[in-house]
Amino acid sequence: MKKILIFTLAAMIVALPGYSQSAGKKVEDKASEAGKATGRAVDKVVDKTKDAASATADGAKKVADKTEDAAQATGKATEKTAKKVADKTEDAAQATGKATEKTAKKVADKTEDAASATSKTAKNVGKDIKAGVVGPPSASDIADAQAKGRVWVNTDSGVYHTSGQFYGKTKEGKFMTKAAADKAGYKPAQ
């Protein structure tokens, strides 16, 4: 199930305009981390459920053993005593069922939370890709942008480069027209 979610998210991101391999890798990494976190949370809940079930089984076995010992020792078990034991056993079974139901709900809630976090991460990466904020572009992206007369906006520092060593090379940035960069409040690099 986790792999299906990861591959579905990755396929959705690949289909977005402006997709690059580095952004796809970021999405895969984030989705993989969220999937692993979900797996760890589910594993913990499963382990706790197994422990609780084991403790309940041990307790029920101890009750059954003591009941048998008492019946053999007295040799006379009355119908009333047998009914009380049956009622207690039924109550214990119902309590176990309720505990299991609560644990299953907790597992479902944790899984839903993890899936929501994965979805939010994928949406944020998708927004960055649509906005053009995907980190340093490839050499062909740089050449294409220069041919179109675009500037490289360093979104971290708020300045833009028309050429030079920082054109398309800063960690965070995007290509824009000079007019759009000026309108957005970016300043030319010194």
Print the domain residue range for 41. 2-131
Q: How far apart are the first and last CA of the chain?
A: 52
On whether the CB atoms of residues 112 and 104 are closer than 8 A, the answer is no
Q: What is the pLDDT of residues 120-169, one digit of tens each?
A: 555 545 555 555 555 579 999 999 999 999 999 999 999 999 999 999 99
Secondary structure class of 84 (helix, strand, coil): helix
**Number of domains composing the chain:** 2
Indicate whether 105 and 149 sit together in one domain: no
Q: What is the pLDDT of residues 90-126, one digit of tens each?
A: 887 788 888 778 877 777 677 676 666 655 555 545 5
Indicate whether 147 and 126 sit together in one domain: no
pTM beyond 0.85: the answer is no
* Residues 117, 143: Cα–Cα separation, whole Å: 37
Confidence band (pLDDT; 50, 70, 90) for 16?
low
Q: What is the pLDDT of residues 59-82, one digit of tens each?
A: 878 887 887 888 787 777 567 777
Burial (CB count within 10 angstroms: exposed 0-12, middle 13-18, buried 19+), residue 17: exposed
Strands 187-188, 173-176: pairing is: unpaired
Indicate whether 118 and 45 sit together in one domain: yes
Indicate whether 62 and 116 sit together in one domain: yes
